[in-house]
Amino acid sequence: MTERTLSGIGVTPLSGVGTVVWYRPDADLPEPPAPEDVDEDAELARFEDARAAAEDELEAERERTAERVGEEEAAVFDAHVQFLNDPQITDGVTDAIEGGLPAEHAVQETFSEFVEQFENMGGRMGERADDLRDVRDRLVRVLSDGERVDLSSLPEGSVVVAERLTPSDTAQLDPERVAGFVTVTGGRTSHAAIFARSLALPAIVGVGEELQSVEDGTEVVVDGESGDLVVDPTDERKEAAAAAAEVDIRHESVETADGVDIEVAANIGTLADLGPAVDRGADGVGLFRTEFLFLDRESPPDEDEQYEAYVKALESFEDGRVVVRTLDIGGDKPVPYLDLPDEENPFLGERGIRRSLGPDADLFETQVRALLRAAASADGANLSVMLPLVSTVEELRAGRERFESVAADLDSEGVENELPEFGIMVETPAAAFMADRFAPHVDFFSIGTNDLAQYVMAAERGNERVSDLGDYRQPAVLRAIDATVSATEGEDCWVGMCGEMAGDPDLTELLVGLGLDELSMSAVTVPQVKAAVAETDTADARELAERVLQADTKAEVAEILTLDQ
């Protein structure tokens, strides 16, 4: 048997060796009977029963996912319930039944039309098509009494291979038993990819139709870093992959080979992310996306609930820094109870600090109170706060003044409080251009490359059609980072990075060379980035950065960094 390699998109920097188990959940429906043979009332009733049963299943899976993976990932099941009850879709199914189709065929037909519509929209909306498919297949399975394929009790060492994996499929995978997964479709930001990172599973998505040629029972190596699926691997290949799978987790802080401290922290959305962050050796939290405390509920968390959450994060990292970002609502993060305006370009609209200083001023005040109190708690000395989407000095001043005036209010109420370290996200071109004017007013910058790349390149994040443009390796993005760091020279202002770029170990040397003091990422890549820091020599890194900054194109950047395009 000769070894061969298929290529896809690697979504976790982890490797696994195992045996292929094909997962094909969508069996074809039989031909429908003639319309006159369909009992309309009975089919309508079957559809209603199936909807209720599917909703019960979704609620159970939501709970299970919240426990095993995290609240943020569990939220996808709420979106499924919304689709299940969306009047436009349910009316469509009802009409199709009244037109003479049995319930399962009516569901298949109606949902498939909506799936197509969402796919045509592309970007984030395109990704919702996967959710719709998931709801459709669930309903069809319930209606046709299909057996649920049990992904949670696969033989140990299985590599799950599928056309696509829905969030409910992925949530069932047991990382103790599954060696990885590989899918025909999917992109870096698909739900399956996000789950893979949360579960720390080796995974490759978007391999394409060639994957169908890999049969059940075949031995494979899943290289989630390069995106290579090695079929019928040699013994040496398997041994190398098994060795690579054993990541060295460092719980102590890390310095470069020539002794420069670089903080390697984790990004968190909810408290469920704290465990993995600690387990994988993060020095602290470099980005607490507090908006996740506000999503998927009927009303905002009150001051005490927020205080508890911030203190919990601080307690998890007694010796490390916890950087809390104030509410970043709007853009692609809607909150139903806030009645956000319908905007043509929400990413360019009222989001982040713009809302906190405007329509969400009350919410902001509550959050600031909770943060000031948390800063005065036993572990509060390590708390830092930063404002999202700042683009003018006035916004920075106004944000800072809010902290000062709320602190004065708390003082007058006799409530213990403390002003924490204060910074801003650098994620707009305006902030990068004006960084020298911001620097004297802050203790730190944290560069959010996900948004910075989208705004510098005018390429919507999550829109696959422009993903090549929106890449953080574009020279213009690298120049924006360089300009930001250079603007802090001579100022007492450290610079971190909390976008996806910070978690790419292939770029660690470059980022150290550009002068970053801190890198924050999803917990899964913390060990790899720490290892890369330890191997870096800062003089070499600076020289590398200088060469990279001379590049005209992304291809040249990749060539200098010896990366795949």
Ligand X SMILES: C=C(OP(=O)(O)O)C(=O)O
Nearest distance in Å: CB 326, ligand X: 12
| Residue 412 buriedness (CB in 10 A; 0-12 / 13-18 / 19+) | exposed
Q: Is residue 4 annotated as involved in ligand binding?
A: no
- The reply on whether position 72 binds ligand X by CB under 6 A is no
Beta-bridge partner residues of 178? 158
Q: Is 518 in the site for ligand X (CB under 6 A)?
A: no
Q: Which is nearer to ligand X, 498 or 533 (CB)?
A: 498
Q: State how far the Cα of 16 lies from the Cα of 12, in Å rounded to an integer.
A: 11
Would you state the structure tokens that stand for residue 428, as one six-digit string?
Answer: 């707009």
- Show Cβ contacts of residue 251 under 8 Å, excluding neighbours closer than 6 positions: 281
Other C-beta atoms closer than 10 Å to the C-beta of 383 total 26
61 binds ligand X (CB under 6 A): no
Q: What are the distances in angstroms from CA 132 to CA 9, 209, 284, 371, 491?
A: 23, 22, 37, 38, 51
Q: Is 232 annotated as a binding residue?
A: no
With CB under 6 A as the contact rule, the residue among 190, 367, 449, 522 that binds ligand X is 449
Q: Is residue 66 within 8 Å of residue 272, measured between CB atoms?
A: yes
Secondary structure letter of residue 252 according to DSSP:
S
Q: How many residues bind ligand X (CB under 6 A)?
A: 9
Looking at residues 114 to 133 of the shown chain, list those that interact with ligand X (rule: CB under 6 A): none
Please identify every residue annotated as catalytic. 191, 498
Q: What is the 3-state secondary structure (H, E, C) of 109-128?
A: HHHHHHHHHHHHHCHHHHHH
Task: State which residue, 392 or 450, has the beta carbon closest to ligand X.
Answer: 450
Q: List the interface residues with ligand X, window 258-317 (CB under 6 A).
A: 287, 289
- If one counts every other C-beta atom within 10 angstroms of the C-beta of residue 431, the result is 28
- Based on its alpha-carbon atoms, the radius of gyration of the chain, rounded to whole angstroms, reads 25
Q: Which is nearer to ligand X, 170 or 454 (CB)?
A: 454
Q: Is 291 annotated in some ligand binding site? A: no
Residues between 405 and 434 that touch ligand X (CB under 6 A): 427
CB of 64 to ligand X, least distance (A): 26
Residues 214-243, one symbol each (x = binds ligand X by CB under 6 A, - = not), give ------------------------------
Q: For residues 450 and 467, which CB has a smaller minimum distance to ligand X in the complex?
A: 450
Least CB distance to ligand X at residue 331 (A)? 7
DSSP secondary structure code for residue 146 in this structure: P
Q: Is 10 helix (H, G, I), strand (E, B) or coil?
A: strand
Tell me the H-state helices in 383-474. Answer: 393-413, 429-433, 435-438, 449-457
Quote the least distance from Cβ 265 to ligand X, whole Å: 12
Q: Say whether 319 counts as a known binding-site residue.
A: no
CB 259 within 8 A of CB 304: no
Contact string (CB under 6 A) for ligand X, positions 498-517, x = contact: xx------------------
Using rule CB under 6 A, residue 471 touches ligand X: no
451 in a known ligand binding site: yes
Q: Token pair of 150, please? A: 């049990």
The residue range among 100-108, 334-342, 447-455, 551-559 that interacts with ligand X, by the rule CB under 6 A, is 447-455
CB 529 → ligand X: shortest distance, Å?
Answer: 15
Q: Which residues are annotated as a binding site for Mg(2+)?
A: 427, 451
Instruction: Please report, as ranges, the residues that interact with ligand X according to CB under 6 A.
Output: 287, 289, 427, 448-451, 498-499
